Chain A
Amino acid sequence: MKLKKSLALALTAVMLAGTLTACKSSGTTTGNESTAGTTAVIKSDTGESSDTGEKKVIIGVSADPETFKPYSSLYDWRYTMLCMVYQPLVLVSQNQEYKVMITGYEKVGDNVFEVSLYENIYDTAGNHFTAEDVVFSYGKAMESGNFSKLNSLVAIEALDDYTVKFTCDDTLVSGQFTLILSQIFMITQAAYEASADEMALSPVGTTGYVVDRYQAGANIIFAKSATGYWQTAKKGEEGYCFMFDTDNVDIVEYDFITESSQMAIALQTGAIDVASRISTMDLTLFEEGGEAFGTADTYELTGQHYTATFNCSEDSVCSDLNLRKALAYSWDSMGIVQMALDGMGEPATALNHNTRLDYDSAFDSWDYYDYNLETAKKYLQTYLDETGKAAGDVTITILVVNDTYLQKVAQTMQTYIMQLGVNCEVAAFDSVTRKSIRNSTEGWNIAVAKSTVTDQYLVSTMDMQFNRDKSASKAGGWVDDDTLQELLLAACKEETHTIQTVSAFEQYMKEQCYALGVCVDNVYLACDTWITELVTGPYDMVAPCASTYDWTAKK
């Protein structure tokens, strides 16, 4: 028995030592030494080889698009991946609007626009793309019902072979027409009707690339089309768009890596050249002192904006302004960044990030409930005096999706809130369940969510979240406020959309404390050192066609 115990202890110790050794992320090796003996290169068995001299890059992504249908549900990363074969009329990225397939557009009436196409557009099957194909593409998109941004589009008509008229209704908000042009992929009717599966596995688009091979759940390989790319404009010339440049790379392979720690391992072993996302823990591997220092370059991008929205329905204690203010003053955004995001981010206060095209930089200097426990306690006391409750009678429920960082942010907020003496719990669910709870008046008091920092207008998000005419849950957190609605509509409408109206809305939201920003996290990409410049496109996803490579240095 004694021997058994000793053996069990010894084996446990060995296992623990093995774990600690295998998991070691920093050490005394220098960058050069760490590449010499600790890693080895395995080429993934893709059937394609850069030994033929073709320029090939392999990108690790976390999920498979599963279908190439242009009008299926579009997640952020799917959009960028599908941009390898399809093009929208306009692309919005990095605060810039690129006229991809159009020479221009103009407003010709109330919410009526005319768009002019390039005349030499051909898809990879050789079909000529005309205005009728634009009408067809939008018709298919509207038919799918998957694009709520098209709800404002009333009619679309081909005026001639290369001019299209878009007619929208009064619900069109400022900046939304650009979204209408940028979110829908263009296809030719001929190619679509020739496809046996609605282009699910055999997409035909207007870029210079085609799907060469697709293994569901494993990888996709895009290769240059034999028909070439219709757009001949080079960098700096009119009509050029970085996302669709065909000069930099011949073959792009996306490998689907579902486990986040495997992404870093795949980069270290050389199985991939680019990790489209790496966690903050794995980031340290590639930084100075890390075991893989010098083997990869890392890029930091502004990630997602975390917003806290209060449930202002009668079923929630947060319907009281004093309590909302007490809670808002009780948490420290900088502290949340340090504790929940390991310092990899920055505090936020405004409703959305400053990359929004209509963000007023004056918002940065406003007092958005900076952390002040004394002030928080004063507001709480006012609330308790008015309601006759004790602090211990109040329970605040923070609702989040069961995402690692969201949960950490919520737990940190919970710690801060409990300093007030109230009870606080975190309710984490999968996204679908969370949404159904969020749309009800019960079960939550504060909803913390994160949204991708895109280049969209601030008003389009405000309209989606706070317009009570568009939301069954009134405005965001069950707010039924005529003043809010009035200010929102003034800010959103094209004719009255100005910095002043946007600012007025933001000011009112701040005063009423219906919602406010919490923090912004950073996202990290990493790539092999032979990639001289890694460029990102919409949704901060890797744009392989735009990146530059030193092919002579590739292993």
Chain B
Amino acid sequence: MKRYVIKRILLIIPVVIIVAILVFTIMYFCPGDPVSVILGGHASDIEIAAKRAEMGFDDPYILQLGKFLFNFFIKGDLGRSYITDQSVIEVIMARFPRTLIFSLACIILSVIIGIPLGMVAAVHRNSWGDRISMIFALIGSSLPNFWLALQLVIIFALRLGWLPAYGIGGIKYYILPIMAASLDGIAQEARQTRSSMLEVIRSDYVTTARAKGIPERKILIRHVLPNALIPVIQTMGNIFARSLGGALLIETVFSIPGMGVYLQTGIANRDYPVVRGSVVFLAVVFSIVMLLVDIAFAYIDPRIKAQYENHGKKNTLSPGRQQKGGA
């Protein structure tokens, strides 16, 4: 297991390098450049051309890529914003915690609410419980989160005056954004849990457990749920990844200075260090999250753990069985 984890950690390195090359290449081929933003709308084309040359944008692709990769991976320098001249890594470290709070809150809510909802739906299949849960899940998946965000602001901030409409500060500033951002995740978890549990509930060993007289609650918690959790945990990973990169709409509506807005502004301004630094940073975070998801799989399902531990070994049979010719 340790070897597997170390191997996965080492695999993050080529993933990050490939992501860095990809984002560099995409931004390279995007029309426009940041010089027109730096110099402002009143700069002439001749001034823009001179600034481009000064900033190295006229260098060949390979040369620019080489400089970027060297600075990035050897010097560890994510660069400075072309527009504000602020260190990209410092700004990311200031903004990322806010985005992380949303993502973690989405995960927690999706687990606390989504999984029980899915369980209720699965256990009471085709009854009222199932229908209400799935209608809720359908609404949650269908509602655009920016629309929901504005409705929550109008109801709770404007009409009732219970919560602030925008900004950052104490816990109360996060309530509405988290509500708006997590509904989709809750819906997804509920549907995935229901689907996975239905698959497992029909298994022979569950029927056997019932036949042996084990209480239904115990069957659900100890036999059904652990076996149904693999796809559910996978969904959690996806929700987390989406909420990391997709927090832009929520951050915009609630004026929260997070990663989404930072990245979007960087893209609009062709602020290459901001875009590259943010994307690679998010790629690293996502890779770590996926690793944690895979580790969680191993702890939940011993078969997967065995797979990890035996991965790479050519002959998994015991010596005794080998001698008998595998009989």
**Which chain A residues have a beta carbon within 8 Å of chain B's beta carbons?**
3-4, 7-8, 11, 15, 18-19, 22-23, 38-42, 44-45, 64, 66-67, 69, 72-75, 145-146, 148-149, 151, 198, 200, 215-219, 255-259, 261-262, 265-266, 268-269, 271, 429-437, 439, 451, 464, 467, 470-473
**Which B residues are closer than 8 A to A by beta carbons?**
30-34, 36-49, 51, 54, 81, 83-86, 91, 94-95, 131, 135, 139, 150-151, 153-155, 157-161, 163-170, 173, 251-258, 261, 268-270
Structural contact, B165 and A22, CB atoms closer than 8 A: no
Q: Contact between A39 and B158 (Cβ–Cβ < 8 Å)?
A: yes
Do A22 and B154 touch across chains, with their CB atoms under 8 A apart? yes
A432:B36 contact, CB within 8 angstroms? yes
B45 contacts A45, CB within 8 Å?
no
Minimum distance in angstroms from A406 CB to a CB of chain B:
14
Find out whether the CB atom of A271 lies under 8 angstroms from the CB atom of B51.
no
Determine how close the nearest CB of chain A comes to the CB of B153; give it in whole angstroms: 6
Verify B255–A42 contact, CB threshold 8 A: no
A472 and B83 alpha carbons, distance in the complex (Å): 24
Measured in the bound complex, the distance between the Cα atoms of B95 and A259 in whole Å is 18
- Which residues of chain A come closer than 8 Å to B139, judged between CB atoms? 11, 15
State whether B256 touches A217 (Cβ < 8 A).
yes
Known pairs A40-B160, A66-B83, A67-B84; A219 contacts B42 (CB<8 A): no
6 pairs, CB–CB < 8 Å, chain A vs chain B: A200-B86, A216-B257, A255-B166, A265-B158, A266-B166, A436-B36
B44 with A470: CB separation less than 8 A? yes
Known: A258-B261, A432-B36; 17 extra A-B contacts, CB below 8 A, are A22-B151, A38-B159, A42-B161, A45-B167, A67-B84, A69-B85, A73-B83, A200-B84, A217-B255, A217-B256, A259-B254, A262-B253, A430-B268, A434-B32, A435-B36, A451-B41, A467-B44
Q: Are B170 and A72 in contact (CB under 8 A)?
A: no
Contacts of A200 in B (CB 8 A): 84-86
Determine how close the nearest CB of chain B comes to the CB of A172; give it in whole angstroms. 15
- A139 → B minimal CB distance (Å): 17
- Check if B39 sits within 8 Å of A217, measured CB to CB: no
Query: By the criterion CB–CB under 8 Å, are A432 and B255 in contact?
Result: no
A18-B254 Cα distance, complex, nearest whole Å = 21
Known: A7-B135, A217-B256, A432-B269. A148 touches B40 (CB 8 A): yes
B32 touches A261 (CB 8 A): no
Pair A73/B159 contact, Cβ less than 8 Å: no
Distance in angstroms from B34 CB to nearest chain A CB is: 7
Q: Chain B contacts of A435 at CB under 8 A?
A: 32, 36
Which 7 A-B residue pairs are closest in the complex by CB-CB distance? A217-B257, A40-B161, A432-B32, A472-B45, A45-B169, A470-B44, A66-B84
Instruction: Given A66-B86, A261-B150, verify A217-B31 contact (CB < 8 Å).
Output: no
Q: Are A269 and B158 in contact (CB under 8 A)?
A: yes
Known contacts: A22-B154, A259-B253. The answer to whether A219 contacts B167 by CB under 8 A is yes
For B31, the chain A residues whose CB sits under 8 A away are 429, 432-433, 436-437
Measured CA separation A266–B166 after assembly (Å): 8
Q: Write out the residue numbers on chain B whose beta carbons fall within 8 Å of the beta carbon of A266.
A: 165-166
Closest to A432 in B: B32
Q: Among B41, B49, B83, B255, which residue has its beta carbon within 8 angstroms of that of A218?
A: B255
Q: Contacts A39-B158, A73-B38, A262-B253 hold; do A11 and B173 have CB atoms under 8 A apart?
A: no
Complex: how many Å from CA A152 to CA B132?
Answer: 72
Nearest CB to that of B157 among chain A residues?
A269
CB distance from B79 to the nearest CB of A (A): 15
Contact A269 B45 (CB under 8 A): no
